[in-house]
A = this chain, B = another copy of it.
Amino acid sequence: MKTEIPYKIYLSEAELPKEWLNLRAFMKDKPAPLLNPVTLKPMTEEELAKVFCDELAKQEIDDQSKYIAIPDEVREFYKMYRPSPLIRAYCLEKALGTPAEIYYKFEGNNTSGSHKLNSAIAQAYYAKEQGLRGVTTETGAGQWGTALSMACSYFGLDCKVFMVKCSYEMKPFRREVMRTYGASVTPSPSITTEVGRQILRDYPDTNGSLGCAISEAVETASGLEGYRYVLGSVLNQVLLHQSVIGLEAKTALDKYGVKPDIIIGCAGGGSNLGGLIAPFMVEKLEGRENYEFIAVEPSSCPTLTRGKYGYDYCDTGKVCPMAKMYTLGSGYMPASSHAGGLRYHGMTSTLSELYDKDYMSARSVKQTEVFKAAETFARVEGILPAPESSHAIKVAIDEALKCKESGEKKVILFGLTGTGYFDMTAYKAFNDGEMQDYVPTDEEIEKGFGTMPTVNLK
């Protein structure tokens, strides 16, 4: 008989991974390289090092090293909140009446409230090691900005955050958390940068966008001695750092002899999903296991399910390198959604390539269904989930209910990336019955594709 599985599986601090897993190194068909938007040639490490820290530039282009050591200083910080718990959703299983076993890897038990801290602390560490004075970044919903503020505070680095103006105004509490950790938070567009002033001249009433905030952050870093720009998703380096999620989850499941049939995660830029699936995908790539992977995205921003695979700009301002990815076009304007973390027009190149080669599937879901699932989950499992994470909950519940019909005892694993404490405006809209769903028309999708590069890029 199997050992009884506890509600929460905590690994010991000694079991914390010592290396990150570099999924690309295991792929025969490598994700396409980043391109210089001017020369249209692959970005070199030297070019990347003008924007990113040296070590991160190196990690960004390294698709050969299968494992990369986690620096001791980063592991020490991880110990303050990792290993994160793998939770058996006994109460949810009971509430659904499903024969399925449901597990979730919970990344919300830290003050940043999400998995973002896993990469933020790594990026801050490399910046510190290089002797930099500070870093700049952008934040939309605010989770990444919060995580980076905490990481910079820990290493004594200056942290300048450009926060999309509408979030800055609608999420004053997120902003205040960042300030408490010593970061400076500027609403974007701002008058502190050339690109910000230009946008304010052209669109004086704009609420800002992630694209604009990225451009402001990059411009600010390049104009200051001892600063670099850092980013919380999409990049290869971020997926690498987030592999700690999947590595811990797999170790915990292996300990109890549990093998998942389905692995589910929400997908915005792909950082959490890429990290969660990493060690499992390796086994699938090597033909040793046949897990089913499901990426869940909002119907309002259906990058994988309705996007195109090709080279595109990563930001609206087109100052960043171009990436080959599933994309809706950098000019696609996702309708306002409460899952701000999933409103990115593209998908990290590694997941795009794996999706294109049918190693994983994708589903898009409507936000009212997502909040219904969030409410069900919160009431039985206790944890109030972030809207982003709730996309994964929705599909996990769907799959568990399919098992109820078929009688199959599948094992479902999903990533619970964060908590919803700073998303109560969204919950209020749901509680008041005032939440709207949005599914773009084919015309809107086509319009977004029209903003993709016209040059011939294979």
A457 smallest CB distance to B (angstroms): 43
* Chain B residues closer than 8 Å to A428, beta-carbon distance: 172, 176, 179
Given A79-B8, A91-B80, A180-B378 contact (CB < 8 Å): yes
Q: Could you write out 26 A-B pairs with CB less than 8 Å apart?
A: A6-B12, A6-B13, A7-B80, A8-B79, A8-B80, A80-B382, A81-B382, A91-B154, A111-B382, A111-B383, A111-B384, A113-B421, A154-B380, A172-B424, A173-B421, A173-B425, A176-B424, A176-B427, A177-B424, A179-B428, A179-B431, A180-B375, A180-B378, A180-B384, A180-B431, A181-B379
Apart from A177-B384, A177-B424, A180-B375: 6 A-B pairs, beta carbons within 8 A: A7-B80, A154-B382, A172-B428, A176-B427, A177-B421, A181-B378
A256 smallest CB distance to B (angstroms): 14
Interface string of A341-376 (1 = CB under 8 A from B): 000000000000000000000000000000000010
Closest 8 CB pairs of A and B: A173-B424, A176-B424, A7-B79, A421-B421, A111-B384, A153-B379, A6-B13, A176-B428
Interface string of A144-177 (1 = CB under 8 A from B): 0000001001100000000000000000110011
A6 smallest CB distance to B (angstroms): 5
* Chain B residues closer than 8 Å to A80, beta-carbon distance: 7-8, 91, 381-382
* Chain B residues closer than 8 Å to A79, beta-carbon distance: 6-8
* Chain B residues closer than 8 Å to A6, beta-carbon distance: 12-13, 79
A33 within 8 A of B: no
Given A13-B6, A79-B6, A179-B431, A111-B378 contact (CB < 8 Å): yes
A423 smallest CB distance to B (angstroms): 9
A147 smallest CB distance to B (angstroms): 10
**Residue picked from A12, A176, A177, A379, most chain B C-beta under 10 Å:** A176
* Chain B residues closer than 8 Å to A181, beta-carbon distance: 378-379
* Chain B residues closer than 8 Å to A150, beta-carbon distance: 382
A118 within 8 A of B: no
**Residue picked from A110, A179, A180, A419, most chain B C-beta under 10 Å:** A180
A10 within 8 A of B: yes
The answer to whether A427 and B382 have CB atoms under 8 Å apart is no
Per the CB 8 Å criterion, the residue count for chain A at the interface is 41
A182 within 8 A of B: yes
**Which A419-444 residues have a C-beta within 8 angstroms of B?**
419, 421-422, 424-425, 427-428, 431
A163 smallest CB distance to B (angstroms): 15
A182 smallest CB distance to B (angstroms): 7
**Residue picked from A177, A181, A379, most chain B C-beta under 10 Å:** A379
* Chain B residues closer than 8 Å to A384, beta-carbon distance: 111, 177, 180
* Chain B residues closer than 8 Å to A383, beta-carbon distance: 110-111
Interface string of A387-405 (1 = CB under 8 A from B): 0000000000000000000
A431 contacts which of B10, B176, B422 (Cβ < 8 Å)? B176
Given the complex of chains A and B, what is the CA–CA distance between A382 and B424 in angstroms? 23
* Chain B residues closer than 8 Å to A44, beta-carbon distance: none
* Chain B residues closer than 8 Å to A111, beta-carbon distance: 378, 382-384, 419
Interface string of A99-129 (1 = CB under 8 A from B): 0000000000111010000000000000000
**Which A155-213 residues have a C-beta within 8 angstroms of B?**
172-173, 176-177, 179-182
A112 closest partner in B (C-beta):
B382
Given the complex of chains A and B, what is the CA–CA distance between A180 and B435 in angstroms? 14
A382 smallest CB distance to B (angstroms): 5
* Chain B residues closer than 8 Å to A173, beta-carbon distance: 173, 421, 424-425
The answer to whether B7 and A10 have CB atoms under 8 Å apart is no
A11 closest partner in B (C-beta):
B10
A93 smallest CB distance to B (angstroms): 13
A179 closest partner in B (C-beta):
B431
